[in-house]
Structure 1
């Protein structure tokens, strides 16, 4: 099948092979004809469009020559002197007949039309999915490589259609609570169209939807300024209404609850056949109302490649209106021993789909299960758990109560899940012959209709497995010069020649034969890229990772992965990411080991690791501009720098985290241990924001690799990182041990910066454990070290830490001086996180001195900054202080509301130190409100938590509170 692309550079493919369209002038002729979608163009129209008023001498002959060469490329099997079917002459001009081809802009229009129908039916989820698929087809401005067509009416019409699709897509994503996924897209649109009030208002809406109120207000102010400076007008009703919506929420109100999730389902197969019995059984099990007290579980089981995931997605998309509270999807990769998703990692993904911030999630798996079941209780949701390897992998992911439904796919029967959890098994076998042949006819088209015998033979050669059928059908479509009988004979010959002496039997042999057949018809570059993807350690990848593995530029990486997608050897996921079926990845890895030398594979692995070194550095720096980092900035594997904003950086890190977490063993196998250590050091600032489980695994592996490499400096930094994570988890004794070991190594290497950072952490731990003189010594020594190395960020943080010690020692004036000096430095350095922390500290100390109006001003400013930064831990701390302030200024009931909101956040993150502090605050607020029983209960809970964590200050506060409450 011919595939034509004009949404970006002009290109055409026959199956997986790109057709050489020739020089720029020839591509221009092709693009112009393609844009007219089969309509004939007269010669003078083509000349006017391509050359304007200055055509070259002999322009008619030039045009004829271009057409002649294009015909040869587009129809290589056309007999000499026979008329062209694809590029015929029409009158004195030409037409490009693409009835049997796939043309990207026509597909775009089909999808946007289907989205309009979905919107008219009131289905915003389907609307968003269709528009997302439509926009994914765009690789750039139409005919971007053909300058004469830049202002052609057909190009401008497509550009306007894209802008309309972006607007409708963004609206649908916001309406389905997925605004965070379109922030980057809307920011680009807003920057490109600064005077378009509708575009600016939509970006404001999106920022508001994800809680970034300050950024939304800044967007309004920027738009207002542009309108005044460029047009001399005030904002119109659309912008004014968007601003009014923001101003209805006071900055010191507790945060609104998270929005309900939309749909995380991957796209369903575009071509599907059969399985009516299985779909009816799933309807009976999952779609009907049930009186069961627990969530109903459906289990699709069957051999690899039999179409379990396709069936699950087909049913889920068709029935998602039954689940108005959202649909979640997670690939458990239960049959990949090196990348099987742990219950903790799976729970984090599911909770993220429910709207939880990664920084808000606890580390302990039991706490994650409790949070997940609380979030899903009383919701009617569909949860799809794909590729489960065992019942034990599934059980922690089951909601605690109805009315949610769970759909599991597995190669095994999972007898334990059936016996103990009441799962309803739906077995899936290879397709019946009639259904397999129907699928081939739908995929291949008329040739399959006209040759039923060969179609049936091809279905049997594929063991009637959908995965193999799709790969074979794509190859057949890409080979229009061969009959189906020829293809069946070629496949039979390949099976005879292929080594299939494994224990997999006929089914496995059939699948492997089809893979081999399709692989051997790739061009050499695509074949090499496919083999190298067998090395990739993650569940998904982007085109840049493909480029790194293949040793090509990023643009070629995009081309190669698109070639693999067209061959059904890879599949497209959301947001520019791709995946391989695990059978295909295993086959790719086998080919790589058999074909490529060890040195070649090592070089590919080194390029991938270099990409992740650079990518992790750039992403963390984009998220945390004041982050100091370790070592020098690494060189990029691609000379073209890629600039990331904070939203793009977080998306990249979140998507790549499974691969990054698996880089230790990968690097050790391929001799890249030093790079894996650098990646771990780069990631620490991101991981300490809530990815504690991954942080412990990544930093522990990095410590082992650094020891094997003999890198003492890296050992010291990873020990410090492990100490930080254990402190955040409330494991103070272990944290102190790690930091003391780190400090000894930093002193041995003479690393004053490392010493300063570790001393600061030891000071925080001493402070938490009530050793205030020791904390003061650590912090003052850290302050001197930061000043020695000229680290002004570290100096500001040390000043704030010294201020905290002064509070505990009863020296409020000294504390205020320290926090004020720190705030001034943070403002000078434009460190907004530091500013927020210093303001919060100032508010805290002013509450203690009774300067309540001053305290409120500092806390309000801190809260606005923390919310803008999406720093939930800081937000909870400020809310707790605001609650305490209200309780002490005559509004204990209002104070309790703030404190309970803070407690919920600290519980969700597993932040034990924060929980003890808030329980003490609730004890005080309830005592003031005349609720002695509630007061005593909170003080006792504070005492239990503080005793467990070793938090001296909160323990003493709780003991005093119990005594005051009469307990």
Structure 2
């Protein structure tokens, strides 16, 4: 029995894998294996699966998965292998020999190598590195921090191995492993510097300088930083060495490293702080201390993180925002704000999603945001390096949620708010923590006087003191009650106190915490006096807790015009039931959102809630379709069945406007999909997944795509629409495959084929086999891909499915090229060209011509390849496939360089570089290198 964590989580017995089932089950098993023979608290297992806000029956779910793990291991022969899973306070423990776990064998070999002499160390480290099959714990998104720790150990081990091997003179043996890791971690300068040294010692100075130029450009263009001392020293050593006169290409050093670009010239300066709170009162000691902390940012002994903790409604966000506005001028590179939704009804934002939002705010195009969480963190910190920026992270659920979002730059200042103590930030990150209590009575009365006027307070001092006490001395409750008092200027405060007293007596029987009773009392009083339209909008917004909505989506929810929605939202903002952000969107404090959700469930009929969500879904469907047509006007777009057309549908003046809307609203759209699915609007749910998929695929948002795909599959199954289920399974399999979760992708692919067989539809079966072939291809299983494609081709030809036939032939030629069979690839590509030309299918014909050109180029027939590339170019341009257009131009440049000389390649390569850069594709680096050598 062997447990594998250094790649996908797997169990192997007698040379064969064991089917472990779901991602959650493999996450639990991985956590137990990483702490083998040591108890893992059940709370830790729950956190790994759901984060800080688990569902009510989380313990039962975990216990169920553990029972299933026990059964799987027993069936696989665990007793004979000395493996057992047992209960041990405060959780569970997996007993096993650590040598059965590849991660523990790896770490043991690395430990043994440290004190060893170079020959033995090199051998031990070589054995350790050979255990890796890909990124650690791949496919376990909530275990990413554990995987990142192992990945760091792998990179360090590779650097140690390289040092020992270089001292032994084994440069040639290093090249393969170093190149693989340098490609996987292109920003790891230690790996690249050692690769450069190995290349130079192997007589390949030109390749060493190539790696330096490529890495320097990537550091400068992607991260805005210069090479560090290791890389710079390695480069100088290569320059000082004797270059071989017979180098295969000239050694080209393309000048000194560029200065990091100024933020003002390359990216917008973010200014995301919410509006400053009016009539800020209380917490003056903490406020003064925060100002001192912010003003000292950058000095050697200054704390770069300040945490504000305390119960809900106590004024944490108000204090943080007020202090941030006072400090903003000290941070000229901008201010970032992000609600981490740690205590909202929605699931807290994980680090992956939060980093994506922050990077886009820093000017990184969505297509250039890395898929990997660790790379997102590296890029985020590199973007902030050397800058003076203020970051406000609101509503954190835990220290672990915040840690990946902390900048590395000493010039940045981070403010964090949370209802929980963030002792981890204090212990590990040097944060200064301020614990807020409720206002004292004097401060509460002072705030009330500022809100309703000193004359009214002076006229009824005892009533005002009582009102402050009934509000729990919480600023949020006081602001809501003050707005209520101001709605009837002549009404005595004593009457408001009496009404509130009665309301609190009514709520005494409810179990509450964090000041909930006081806030809920204030909310109920305000809610009961709302006009019917305002109360209805308040309730309907509670269907999407944690979301920040633009007025036109609120209008869709309520079934009114955007102007009417704006009016109602203004009235709700006036009584502090919604908050208007700087961008014109409207959100709620999480306590208010919880109350809105309660009121929605209690006061809004279920039929009305479903109708509101149906309107919202239809509005989103139509707007997504409009935006996608603007972004890709030449691509066919599906028509969705909608019952409700918005009174004023959104239009987009330019493709950039449409793409910007899709990017801005993607998180809201995902929230809409989740709640629409929860309410059983299954057809709309899968249609929304289908509509949003081009954006997901275009921006390579594969982590998000997995959850979207699962929602889509479940919704399609609930409708009983097998063809819709096929579409959703294709999406889910593509997401898994793109994340290298090949087992999950293969399982989804097999489900595709099973459903297609059940439908007895040749069209669906050819499409399913084509998708399964793509899964095999991306997993490197080329022969399996060919087998699927040949089955699909046979069906397509037998049933005269000409479009599918052309698709399969084009894909088959791609796989043949990867197999190193250019003659077969050329034959398949020619057949695909003929078939697609008869169908007038420019996208397929263009890709087939690219494949044909690539096959000819592999055979050294550059003139003929150039002809095919020139034929392909207008077709892919007409089809709107920009990545294919860039590929044609890049390949055309190579053919021209061989036929007419390197100078002839400059024009197509420059156009390819522009396209690849706009698309955020890594191929831009390769094209830039080729241009530098022209």
Identify the TM-score tier after normalising by the shorter chain.
Answer: 0.5 to 0.7
Paired residues of 2:852 and 2:865 also in contact (CA < 8 A): yes
Note closer, same or farther for the CA distance 1:572–1:262 as it changes in structure 2 (3 Å cut). Answer: same
Aligned ranges 1:394-473 → 2 under 5 Å: 394-445=402-453, 447-453=455-461, 454-473=463-482
Paired residues of 1:554 and 1:638 also in contact (CA < 8 A): no
**SS of aligned partner of 1:271:** coil
**SS of aligned partner of 1:544:** helix
Q: Are residues 1:700 and 2:714 paired?
A: no
Match in the other structure for 2:272: 264
**SS of aligned partner of 2:338:** strand
Match in the other structure for 1:367: 375
Distance 1:343 1:294 in 2: 25
Match in the other structure for 1:207: none
Paired residues of 1:537 and 1:659 also in contact (CA < 8 A): no
Distance 2:594 2:835 in 1: 51
Q: Are residues 1:509 and 2:509 paired?
A: no
Match in the other structure for 2:722: 712
TM-score, normalization: structure 1? Answer: 0.60
Match in the other structure for 2:866: 816
Give the drift of 1:424: 1.2
Give the drift of 1:352: 1.8
Paired residues of 2:816 and 2:825 also in contact (CA < 8 A): yes
Distance 1:601 1:418 in 2: 44
**SS of aligned partner of 1:409:** strand
**SS of aligned partner of 1:320:** helix
Distance 2:300 2:805 in 1: 59
Pairwise CA RMSD of aligned residues? 3.4
| Correspondent of 1:299 among 282, 301, 307 | 307
Give the drift of 1:771: 5.7
Match in the other structure for 1:378: 386
Paired residues of 1:739 and 1:761 also in contact (CA < 8 A): no
Which runs of no fewer than 5 residues in structure 2 stay unpaired? 1-220, 222-257, 768-800
**SS of aligned partner of 2:507:** coil
Note closer, same or farther for the CA distance 1:513–1:388 as it changes in structure 2 (3 Å cut). Answer: same
Note closer, same or farther for the CA distance 1:479–1:770 as it changes in structure 2 (3 Å cut). Answer: farther
Which runs of no fewer than 5 residues in structure 1 stay unpaired? 1-210, 212-252, 890-967
Distance 1:342 1:788 in 2: 49
Match in the other structure for 1:553: 561
**SS of aligned partner of 1:384:** strand
* Structure 1 stretch displaced more, 631-640 or 274-283: 631-640
Paired residues of 2:341 and 2:546 also in contact (CA < 8 A): no
Paired residues of 1:281 and 1:426 also in contact (CA < 8 A): no
Distance 2:440 2:413 in 1: 29
Distance 1:551 1:411 in 2: 36
Distance 2:824 2:731 in 1: 21
Distance 2:752 2:557 in 1: 35
**SS of aligned partner of 2:515:** helix
Question: Which whole-Å deviations, capped at 9, do the CAs of 1:591-648 have from their partners, x for residues lacking one?
Answer: 1111122222222222222222222222222223233334547565314332123343
Match in the other structure for 1:960: none
Paired residues of 1:295 and 1:403 also in contact (CA < 8 A): no
Q: Are residues 1:687 and 2:662 paired?
A: no
| Correspondent of 1:319 among 312, 327, 333 | 327
Distance 1:618 1:844 in 2: 38
Note closer, same or farther for the CA distance 1:763–1:533 as it changes in structure 2 (3 Å cut). Answer: farther
* Structure 1 stretch displaced more, 655-664 or 473-482: 655-664
* Structure 1 stretch displaced more, 459-468 or 548-557: 548-557
Aligned ranges 1:171-250 → 2 under 5 Å: none
Paired residues of 2:540 and 2:558 also in contact (CA < 8 A): yes
Distance 1:313 1:669 in 2: 34
**SS of aligned partner of 1:662:** helix
| Correspondent of 2:344 among 325, 329, 336 | 336
Paired residues of 1:295 and 1:398 also in contact (CA < 8 A): no
Paired residues of 1:719 and 1:739 also in contact (CA < 8 A): yes
Of structures 1 and 2, the one scoring higher in RCO (CA 8 A, sep 6+) is 1
Distance 1:504 1:442 in 2: 29
| Correspondent of 1:492 among 488, 501, 508 | 501
Question: Which whole-Å deviations, capped at 9, do the CAs of 1:742-769 have from their partners, x for residues lacking one?
Answer: 5784845377667866876676566456
Paired residues of 1:609 and 1:672 also in contact (CA < 8 A): no
**SS of aligned partner of 1:480:** coil
| Correspondent of 2:491 among 449, 460, 482 | 482
**SS of aligned partner of 1:626:** coil
Aligned ranges 1:487-636 → 2 under 5 Å: 487-496=496-505, 498-504=506-512, 507-536=515-544, 539-632=547-640, 634=642
Distance 1:618 1:297 in 2: 43
Distance 2:593 2:832 in 1: 50
Note closer, same or farther for the CA distance 1:761–1:326 as it changes in structure 2 (3 Å cut). Answer: farther
Paired residues of 1:390 and 1:414 also in contact (CA < 8 A): yes
| Correspondent of 1:859 among 903, 909, 917 | 909
Distance 1:821 1:599 in 2: 57
Paired residues of 1:626 and 1:831 also in contact (CA < 8 A): no
| Correspondent of 1:825 among 872, 875, 884 | 875
Question: Which whole-Å deviations, capped at 9, do the CAs of 1:792-842 have from their partners, x for residues lacking one?
Answer: 344434433443344334443443333222222345567666544433332
Distance 1:596 1:749 in 2: 43
Distance 2:742 2:540 in 1: 44
* Structure 1 stretch displaced more, 809-818 or 361-370: 809-818
Distance 1:564 1:804 in 2: 62
Paired residues of 1:295 and 1:401 also in contact (CA < 8 A): no
Distance 1:254 1:716 in 2: 51
Give the drift of 1:435: 1.9
Note closer, same or farther for the CA distance 1:506–1:712 as it changes in structure 2 (3 Å cut). Answer: closer
Note closer, same or farther for the CA distance 1:677–1:573 as it changes in structure 2 (3 Å cut). Answer: same
Match in the other structure for 1:143: none
Distance 1:756 1:335 in 2: 52
Distance 1:762 1:383 in 2: 50
Paired residues of 1:378 and 1:403 also in contact (CA < 8 A): yes
Distance 2:511 2:911 in 1: 67
Note closer, same or farther for the CA distance 1:832–1:421 as it changes in structure 2 (3 Å cut). Answer: closer
Note closer, same or farther for the CA distance 1:551–1:431 as it changes in structure 2 (3 Å cut). Answer: same
Paired residues of 1:720 and 1:758 also in contact (CA < 8 A): no
Aligned length, in residue pairs: 632
Q: Are residues 1:389 and 2:397 paired?
A: yes
Question: Which whole-Å deviations, capped at 9, do the CAs of 1:37-67 have from their partners, x for residues lacking one?
Answer: xxxxxxxxxxxxxxxxxxxxxxxxxxxxxxx
Distance 1:632 1:340 in 2: 31
Note closer, same or farther for the CA distance 1:274–1:777 as it changes in structure 2 (3 Å cut). Answer: farther
Distance 2:420 2:600 in 1: 29
TM-score, normalization: structure 2? Answer: 0.62
Note closer, same or farther for the CA distance 1:503–1:827 as it changes in structure 2 (3 Å cut). Answer: closer
Give the drift of 1:298: 0.9
**SS of aligned partner of 1:264:** coil
Paired residues of 1:359 and 1:872 also in contact (CA < 8 A): yes
Distance 1:460 1:797 in 2: 72
Question: Which whole-Å deviations, capped at 9, do the CAs of 1:645-695 have from their partners, x for residues lacking one?
Answer: 334333332332223233454233211122121111222221122323212
Match in the other structure for 2:76: none
Aligned ranges 1:761-840 → 2 under 5 Å: 764=814, 767-768=817-818, 770=820, 772=822, 790-828=840-878, 835-840=885-890
Distance 1:694 1:758 in 2: 28
Give the drift of 1:789: 6.1
